[in-house]
Structure 1
Amino acid sequence: MLVPLCSFAAEGPQPTEQAQALATCHGRYTATVEHSRLVAVENDAAAMRRDLIEALMNTFLAERAGDRTFSIALMRNRVEARSEMRNLFSAATFGQDMRRQRLADGQIRRHLSACDALILGQDVRAF
C-alpha cells in the first residue's frame, strides 16, 4: 500500500482562519513590494503593511513553534497568495488585453483592500 507523500500535512490542528488570512495577506503584500521594485516605484506603505502582517503572523508561529504542520500550512498559504498576486500584477502591468488588465487591477485592489480591513481588525471572511 502506497502512502501519499503529503499525508503528514493532514495531521494535527490546522491554522485558524485568522492565521490563514494573515499568511495570505503577507504573501499579497510581499508580491506588491516586489512588483513595486520591478517597476521602479517606491511603495513604503506596502512595505510597512507587509512588515506589520509579518509580525502578526510570527506571533501565531511562535505560539505553535513546535508544530511543523502548522508552519508548513501557513507558509504554503503565503506562497500561493504571493504567486497569485504576481500573476495578477503581470496581467495588469504587462498584459496586452485591456479588459484583462482592468480585471486584474480590480482584483489586486480587492485583495489589498481585504488585507487592509484585516489590519484594521475588520471581518476576515473576505478571503
Structure 2
Amino acid sequence: MIVGLLLASPAASAATDPPGPSDGALTLATCHGRYTAVMEHARLMGDGADAAAFRRDLLEAMMNAYLAEHAEDRAYSITMMSHRINARAQLRSLFATAAFNSDTRRRRLAAGGILRQIAACDSLVIGRRFTGL
C-alpha cells in the first residue's frame, strides 16, 4: 500500500500543475529575444534599428497577450522570459562572432546562423508569402 501511495503521488501533483507555454508562445518569446538582439546590434553598429524595433514591439504585444492569459501562473512567466533571454544571448553571441572574430570561416558561419534565425522570426511577423521561406 505504501508503494502505491509513493507511485501515485508524483502523478497526482503533475495532474494539478498548470500546463506550460505552448510551442507558439515559446516561439514568440524566442523571436522577441532575437529581435531585441538585432535592435541592440544595429544601434551598436550605427545602423537603423527601426525595423527591428517595430518587429520586436509587435512580438512583445503578442507575447504579453499570452502572459496576460496566464498572469497567475508564475512558472509560465518565468519560462517565457527564460526563452526570451536565452534567445537574445545566443543571437548576441552570433553577432559578436560575425562582427569581430578574426577567423573568416567563423564569421561567415555566424552570419549564416543570424540570417536563418531572423528569417524564421520574419516569417511570423511578415508572413511566408513575403519572405519566400
C-alpha deviation, 1:74, in angstroms = 0.2
| Higher helix proportion (structure 1 or 2) | 2
Normalising by structure 2, we get a TM-score of 0.81
From 110, 114, 120, the counterpart of 2:116:
110
C-alpha deviation, 1:53, in angstroms = 0.4
Could you give the per-residue CA deviations for residues 26-61 of structure 1, whole angstroms, max 9, x where no partner exists? 000000101111111112111100000000000000
C-alpha deviation, 1:121, in angstroms = 5.4
Taking only aligned residues, the RMSD between alpha carbons, in angstroms, comes to 1.1
Q: Distance in 2 between matches of 1:17 and 1:120?
A: 19
Instruction: Specify the structure having the higher radius of gyration (Cα).
Output: 2
Q: Show structure 1 runs of 5+ residues with no match.
A: 1-10, 123-127
Helix, strand or coil for the counterpart of 1:20?
Answer: helix
Could you give the per-residue CA deviations for residues 81-115 of structure 1, whole angstroms, max 9, x where no partner exists? 00000000000001111101010001100000000
Q: Show structure 2 runs of 5+ residues with no match.
A: 1-16, 129-133
Q: Distance in 2 between matches of 1:45 and 1:100?
A: 27
Q: State the match for 1:99 in structure 2.
A: 105
From 54, 61, 81, the counterpart of 1:75:
81
Deviation beyond 4 Å, 4+ runs, structure 1: none
**For residue 107 of structure 2, what is the amino acid of its counterpart?**
Q
Q: Distance in 2 between matches of 1:36 and 1:44?
A: 9
Q: State the match for 2:32 in structure 1.
A: 26
Higher relative contact order (CA 8 A, sep 6+): 1
Do residues 37 (structure 1) and 67 (structure 2) align?
no
Helix, strand or coil for the counterpart of 1:15?
Answer: coil
Q: Distance in 2 between matches of 1:83 and 1:60?
A: 22
Q: How many equivalent pairs are there?
A: 112
